[in-house]
Amino acid sequence: MLEIIGLILVAIMTLGFVGVFKSYGIESGLSELFWGCAGGTLLIIIYRKMKRKQDEQKD
């Protein structure tokens, strides 16, 4: 489930960076949309790493 959410965030981040959402008033490049999606993706990566580390310690 987290992989799908991460993939969607990366796709939205890429589309926002390229400028697909200009018609909605979102600037292309390093906008708030880009950084929000990048932050969300980073949080998912950190969460998965922490969970994997916890699972290894249990075994």
Q: Tens digits of per-residue pLDDT, 13-52?
A: 999 999 898 888 888 888 899 999 999 999 999 999 999 9
Cα distances (angstroms) measured from residue 53 to each of 4, 41, 42, 43, 57: 21, 19, 17, 15, 6
Q: DSSP label at 44?
A: H
Has residue 10 been placed in a domain? Answer: yes
State the pLDDT at residue 36.
94
Q: Output the pTM of the full model.
A: 0.79
Measured CA to CA, the distance from residue 35 to residue 40 in angstroms comes to 8
State the pLDDT at residue 35.
93
Has residue 14 been placed in a domain? Answer: yes
Confirm if 13 and 31 have CB atoms less than 8 A apart. Answer: no
**In the chain, how many domains are there?**
1
Q: Is the pLDDT of residue 7 over 90?
A: yes
Confirm if 9 and 41 have CB atoms less than 8 A apart. Answer: yes
State the pLDDT at residue 28.
87
Has residue 58 been placed in a domain? Answer: no
Domain that holds residue 15: 2-53
State the pLDDT at residue 13.
93
